[in-house]
Amino acid sequence: MGVSPPDAQGRAQPVRLSIALFGGRLRHPPEASKNTPPPLNLRTLRTMNKLPPFFVIGSVGLVITALLHIFMALGLGLNNVHGGFLPLYILFIALLSIGTGKLQLIPVKSK
């Protein structure tokens, strides 16, 4: 924190400065702009639930399969589980790819 020149009553006012990430110049912190996202409400939650089912099944299945694979391989010390998980990874990656393709086809609504 720096100190600005005194105001009309002779008191020094604190000034907050931040260093820009690139360039290293001092700048004032940004004020809240009009482009800030709206708070999370029921409308945005309904919009988020419109993801294609292939995308949701693929991403959740891939995460659960990876966690189960890690647990069985490291936690239980089983060495023969790796081959059994390969078809599951391929299946969920294929579902995730189909869901991503369908996600790209959803039109973006602008206000």
Domain count, the chain: 1
Is 16 domain-assigned? no
Is 9 domain-assigned? no
Is 43 domain-assigned? no
Is 30 domain-assigned? no
The pLDDT value given to residue 76 = 86
Query: Which residues of the chain are modeled with pLDDT < 50?
Result: 1, 16-22, 26, 28-29
Separation between Cα atoms, residue 101 and residue 59, nearest integer Å:
13
Separation between Cα atoms, residue 27 and residue 18, nearest integer Å:
6
The pLDDT value given to residue 64 = 95
**Domain extent for 94:** 50-105
The pLDDT value given to residue 86 = 92
Is 97 domain-assigned? yes
Is 38 domain-assigned? no
Is 66 domain-assigned? yes
